[in-house]
Every structure is written in C-alpha cells, then in structure tokens.
C-alpha cells in the first residue's frame, strides 16, 4: 500500500485543478453544438429569407384562388399568412393555383402559417356546399413562415370551401373554389 505524503496530496489536487478548466471547456463546447431545435430554427429562418427574396424579386404571375376575409380569431397566436387552392405542390410551393377544378381532381390547399409560440394543431375542414366532407389535422411548428398543405380528391361538382381552423375551432382562413363535372 502506498503512503501519501503532503507533497503527493498537493500534487494530486493541483493536477485536478489544472484539468478542471479543460473539462468545463469540453462541456461548454458540447453545449454549443446545434440541437434539433436549432436546426428547425435555422430552417425557419431560411424559409423567412426565401419569403423575403420572393417578395423582392419579380415573380411570374400566378393565378390565386379567391379568399374570404379572415374571421376574428380572438387572441390566437397562430395566423395564416397566405392560402390557396392548387392542382399540385412542388418544392413546398403551390403549383397551378386556381379557383376551378374538375370532379375527380386532387385539389391541394397550400398555406403559409406564422406561429411564434410553439407547436400548434390546425384543422383543415373540406366542405362541398354546406356538407363537411373531410377534416385533416396538421401540426405546425414554431416558425415565422411554416409552409404546409392538405389534399383531397374532389368527386362532387359544386362550390367547395376549405376552412383552416386553430385548435380552439376558430376559422383562421377560408379558401373557396368550384368543382365542375369532368
């Protein structure tokens, strides 16, 4: 068994103290690595930059489906910045936006949502006339501009509306279009 002397104990304590800052630096370094939340925030920031670039650069004219006025959603933190009906979605953008489709077509309702607070559940309610046909639930993350969409095959001719509702059932936006016989 080894006997410890005062000098040996002092040398051990000194070594521990000298190594402690290196250990703290390694922990600080680990805490600065990007987390999944940081990556999502970076993606949201990139989306916001793309949105700004889109507004600054002249774009080809797009046909937009008419929208109704937004309902008063009280103090809801989530809001719909833009919504449209389209024949498709490519690269997170609506393609062939319009207000008339044929029976049997798949119609996409594309939206850009601002959500400053955190994850929010939205309902996308499809109605043919006054009859509710289908409801989709969409989870929207925290973002200044979260782009998402829902699609449905429209089989019935007539006037259609799609309501985008928050988790309390408040209508944030309504997209309208007409379906004709094919």
Report, in this order, helix, strand and coil percent for the chain, each rounded to 5. 25, 45, 30
pLDDT digits (tens, 9 = 90+) for 69-116: 344 444 458 999 999 999 999 999 999 999 999 999 999 999 999 999
CA atoms within 13 A on the CB side of 57: 8
Spans of the chain, pLDDT less than 50: 13-14, 17-41, 51-75
- Segment (H or E) for 147: strand 143-153
- pTM of the complete model: 0.60
Q: Which residues pair with 151 in a beta bridge?
A: 108
Mean pLDDT of the chain: 75
Residue 24 belongs to what H/E stretch? helix 6-31
Token pair 């008339």 is at which residue?
Answer: 100
């Amino acid at each position: 068994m080894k006997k410890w002397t005062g000098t040996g104990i002092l040398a051990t304590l000194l070594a521990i103290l000298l190594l402690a800052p290196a250990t703290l630096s390694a922990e600080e370094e680990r805490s600065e690595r990007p987390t999944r939340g940081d990556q999502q925030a970076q993606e949201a920031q990139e989306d916001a930059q793309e949105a700004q670039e889109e507004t600054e650069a002249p774009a080809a004219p797009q046909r937009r489906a008419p929208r109704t006025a937004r309902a008063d959603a009280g103090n809801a933190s989530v809001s719909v910045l833009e919504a449209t009906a389209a024949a498709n979605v490519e690269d997170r953008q609506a393609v062939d936006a319009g207000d008339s489709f044929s029976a049997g077509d798949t119609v996409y309702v594309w939206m850009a949502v601002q959500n400053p607070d955190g994850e929010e559940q939205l309902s996308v309610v499809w109605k043919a006339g006054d009859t509710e046909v289908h409801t989709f639930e969409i989870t929207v993350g925290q973002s200044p501009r979260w782009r998402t969409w829902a699609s449905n095959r429209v089989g019935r001719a007539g006037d259609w509306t799609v309501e985008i509702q928050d988790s309390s059932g408040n209508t944030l936006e309504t997209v309208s279009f007409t379906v004709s016989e094919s």
